[in-house]
Structure 1
């Protein structure tokens, strides 16, 4: 029977129930008063009390119960008031007891119904009005299919995937949508429940296949909750990023009631992408500023091979102008010219790479090699500040996944900070150590100087944006270093004993392939 017909029928019954109860009460009173049956007729008043459950409030229910007891006493007074027998008195007592107990129990039932109704109303309000999309689904067929696969001897869901890759698609078709809230309709741009129900299979794209297999694994293992983040389509075909939670209550082993909570994180993902783009832009600007500080070192690095090219070119010409040209010496001079040109080209190539505005490219890299390239670019700064450089770069360092340019930026920044920390005339011995090593499941790089160090109270703020200990500093270098290292899944830290220098170190975890 349709819901609206049941509702209309229930309303009609509630409307006529008071009249029916009144009629039954009058009939019982008349029968009890005017007849001489040897039985407790007044016990029938319990039907009036029970009928009152459908229309009376808790207070009125007590009034009706008291009224029925009053009618019982009145009938007893009229029929047996002058000469009450022990049997009649006993029947009256039994009737009063039955009516009283029934009224008390009916009152308790009414209270329970009121609590249940309030709870259901609260649940319905939360379900419909919450800002999280909620889908109530029936996974009974999926649970049965998983149970059947287990009975067939499959060890786990991976074995099922290997044997029947199409099972995930079949499972999607088995999932039945039974109820949704208003937020779910808004999230998926559906005008009503039936629209969303009909479109649901098409909303799950191919990129959700991995998430579906993971959900099936959770069902296979009997886990009560599964959570993931993925992309879906809405009814109009637009892509939305969602974070969803599938709750499979332990008290519903057949999974006939499963709640899927969905949060649309499309705007958050867009904001994160924009923030990432801003970080990349800021890192690029900082690299350009760093290159500006290294102008003298860069000029020296380029000038050396160019001067050698001129020298070797002159020597080659002199050998050619001799009365008996020495072609062997000419060839040697030309080879040295080519080698020096290669050196100059490598320097320019590294500079172009650092100054280029490109998106980060994750690839297997050797941190020791990147450190050596970075040292070459700042070698002039190290020499001009009369700093003793010591390197301990591990030769057989495991590869890590990272962006070469960004990691080089971090190392150069840390080296320049160390050089500036030792620029104070009060620093007698200027020693710089750059070391790489493997640290458990990560690769570590350490830059240690013998400068003035920093106070322990400053350690917690060194990597904060716009915090600087330099008079002319911007406070962005170390902040960007932390952002880059964190984006690589690593950590960066600083240690110091005032007067004994500072040590900055960062780690990059070992990975076989970039994390998507």
Structure 2
């Protein structure tokens, strides 16, 4: 239409000028120039539009002068004035419309440039068919998405066919190795495998609830067989209640997840090295812990032999000695089992963990260090403490590190003033563990760097203990903090939420 608009406008302008000049109708024929101005919106720029409006007003005046000459009747002047006013007002409004169209065009161009060039894949979808399906369910008194799943288990798969792809940017096409929009539209339904139906139902539940956005991760296979991890966000504009335009942004996070997995492996390896190093520091304590039950086994074994060698063997005493031997051997075995758990390199193994049990085992392991350093130990464990989901070995490493640090921090404190308090409690949504010493405290300038890797205040320290503790607790959804007053000791606290799996 824009191609023929200039010719049509010129033709109408000539026709109006001839009619207005040569006829004597008692009407304001020049008002028809507004058609010329309106047609000019199709091809003229803003300045050209003003010029065309001014030209139409000039033709109106020229026609008036040619047709009336020296005579200036009042009714003709009135019609001329009405025509000029109509043309002027129309030109002004057309100018405003042209300006608005220009702003809208610029905005649309910017949106299109961003849409096509952004590094995030964007799909423009039409969910109208899905909305109509939802409306039918609601008209039949279906109240929840769970009811749809019960009434029509295959709806999740059929819902995908109700969603239409209307546009996609280059990034999205490249992500799925699709040559064009049509190929991508055919490919999309095949990317959603049967084991992803649970995620589809969650998306449908979000749309059913009227949420404006929904975000989740999905593992999809591209047309060339690659398996990629995508983070996608479904956004429903507020001004599109018909769901005729829904934007789905897609980000390929495969490399990020692989890097996170590699980081987890490195963190696990580093934690293992730190555990072995800590066990090395406790060699004497470990030997003492094992020597006690082994010595008891020897003692009970000798006593049992003596009772057997008597003229009349006392079998009751022999049985008692053997039972004691078994108990002491089991005790030594348990110590070795716990030590082996701390020293073996293994992947995190989430399970139900009793933190009080871990604390008691760790205190037992450190008992000789506590005795040698003449530390007064106070243990306050909450009764009926709820279990948390976590890796037992890693959590024991955290407790072991904090207790050993506290004992070492009091090495230069006067005897009789070395007090170590260990406490567990149940907060509103988490288990809390606290260890408090009466050491010299942590200087203010050191406190901010306390959990940084390779930062240590010990002459022979690696500076990894507290950093590893924090990474372990973060992976468990928890946190760790330290508070200290110079000369008044240090308190470390960590929390682990309930019902949280290891990250």
Partner of 1:216: 204
Is 1:371–2:362 an aligned residue pair?
A: no
Is 1:236–2:204 an aligned residue pair?
A: no
Partner of 1:506: 494
Structure-1 separation of matches of 2:25 and 2:422 = 111
Structure-2 separation of matches of 1:166 and 1:131 = 35
Partner of 2:156: 168
CA positional deviation for 1:295: 0.6
Structure-2 separation of matches of 1:392 and 1:40 = 100
CA positional deviation for 1:210: 2.5
- The answer to which of 262-271 and 311-320 deviates more is 311-320
CA positional deviation for 1:354: 0.5
Structure-1 separation of matches of 2:115 and 2:42 = 27
Shift in alpha-carbon separation, 1:498–1:83, aligned structure 2, 3 A: closer
Partner of 1:464: 452
Partner of 1:7: none
Structure 1: 5+ residue stretches without partners: 1-9
1:423 pairs with one of 400, 408, 411? 411
For residues 276-315 of structure 1, the aligned pairs below 5 Å read 276-315=264-303
For residues 77-476 of structure 1, the aligned pairs below 5 Å read 77-426=65-414, 428-476=416-464
Is this contact kept in 1: 2:475–2:502, CA < 8 A? no
Is this contact kept in 1: 2:380–2:424, CA < 8 A? yes
Is this contact kept in 2: 1:427–1:452, CA < 8 A? no
- The answer to which of 119-128 and 236-245 deviates more is 236-245
Deviation by residue 1:14-42 (Cα, 9 ceiling, x = unmatched): 2x433443343334334433445554443
Structure-2 separation of matches of 1:87 and 1:267 = 81
Structure-1 separation of matches of 2:433 and 2:181 = 57
Structure-2 separation of matches of 1:161 and 1:36 = 77
- The answer to which of 282-291 and 155-164 deviates more is 155-164
Shift in alpha-carbon separation, 1:83–1:320, aligned structure 2, 3 A: closer
3-state SS in 1 of match to 2:488: coil
Is this contact kept in 2: 1:427–1:451, CA < 8 A? no
Is this contact kept in 1: 2:390–2:502, CA < 8 A? no
Shift in alpha-carbon separation, 1:112–1:439, aligned structure 2, 3 A: closer
Is this contact kept in 1: 2:476–2:501, CA < 8 A? no
CA positional deviation for 1:363: 0.5
CA positional deviation for 1:410: 0.7
3-state SS in 2 of match to 1:228: strand
3-state SS in 2 of match to 1:446: strand
Structure 1 runs (4+) greater than 6 angstroms displaced: none
Shift in alpha-carbon separation, 1:59–1:427, aligned structure 2, 3 A: farther
Is this contact kept in 1: 2:379–2:423, CA < 8 A? yes
Structure-1 separation of matches of 2:151 and 2:348 = 39
Structure-1 separation of matches of 2:175 and 2:255 = 12
CA positional deviation for 1:451: 1.8
- The answer to which of 84-93 and 239-248 deviates more is 84-93
3-state SS in 1 of match to 2:184: helix
Shift in alpha-carbon separation, 1:47–1:397, aligned structure 2, 3 A: closer
1:481 pairs with one of 452, 469, 489? 469
Structure-1 separation of matches of 2:422 and 2:20 = 107
CA positional deviation for 1:199: 1.2
Structure-2 separation of matches of 1:26 and 1:149 = 61
Deviation by residue 1:208-241 (Cα, 9 ceiling, x = unmatched): 3233222222222222222222323323342222
Structure-1 separation of matches of 2:370 and 2:352 = 29
Shift in alpha-carbon separation, 1:54–1:476, aligned structure 2, 3 A: same
Is this contact kept in 1: 2:476–2:502, CA < 8 A? no
Structure 2: 5+ residue stretches without partners: none
Structure-2 separation of matches of 1:349 and 1:36 = 116
Is this contact kept in 1: 2:350–2:502, CA < 8 A? no
